[in-house]
Structure 1
Amino acid sequence: MNIEEFKERIEMGEEFQFYYLDESYWISQNEEGLYLTRERDSNSQSFKTTDELFEKGTIDNKKIKEIWDEIDI
């Protein structure tokens, strides 16, 4: 899956667990927004839209698109 398909599937309401550097993360959502959460400590970032998630969401101070090739879904 490429990053555009990943983003489209999130926009359709899918939720994902993925791994980056052997750490587990979740992208989840509810009626109030989307959440990027690190499983280890439940550190969570919240966003109003999918675009905001991909523009402002970070893992190790890097945006998802910057580390896409290192993400294991």
Structure 2
Amino acid sequence: MEYNELVERFEMGEEFQFYYKNDSYWISQNEEEYFLTRERDSFSQSFESARELFANGKIADKTILELWDNIVI
């Protein structure tokens, strides 16, 4: 999957699990917020939009796009 496809599908309501450095993460949403969550300890970041999640959500101080080549979906 390409990064742009992930963003588009997430904006349409799909949720995704992915792995970065042996940690599992989820990008998910409810009716009011969008979340980037590390499964191991349930550490979660919340955002008002999908675009904000992809622009400001951080893993190891980097965005999903910056880490994309090291992410496994």
Q: Could you state the TM-score of these two structures normalised by the residue count of structure 2?
A: 0.97
Distance, in Å, in 1 between the alignment partners of 2:55 and 2:27 is 14
Distance, in Å, in 2 between the alignment partners of 1:3 and 1:50 is 13
- Once the two structures are TM-superposed, the CA of residue 26 in structure 1 deviates from its matched residue by 0.5
Q: Which aligned pairs between 1:1-73 and structure 2 lie closer than 5 A?
A: 1-73=1-73
Q: Could you state the TM-score of these two structures normalised by the residue count of structure 1?
A: 0.97
Divergent runs of 4+, >4 A: none
Q: CA RMSD in A?
A: 0.5
Q: Unpaired segments of 5 or more residues in structure 1?
A: none
Q: Number of residue pairs matched? A: 73
Equivalent position amino acid for 2:20 in 1: Y
Q: Matched residues, percent identical?
A: 63
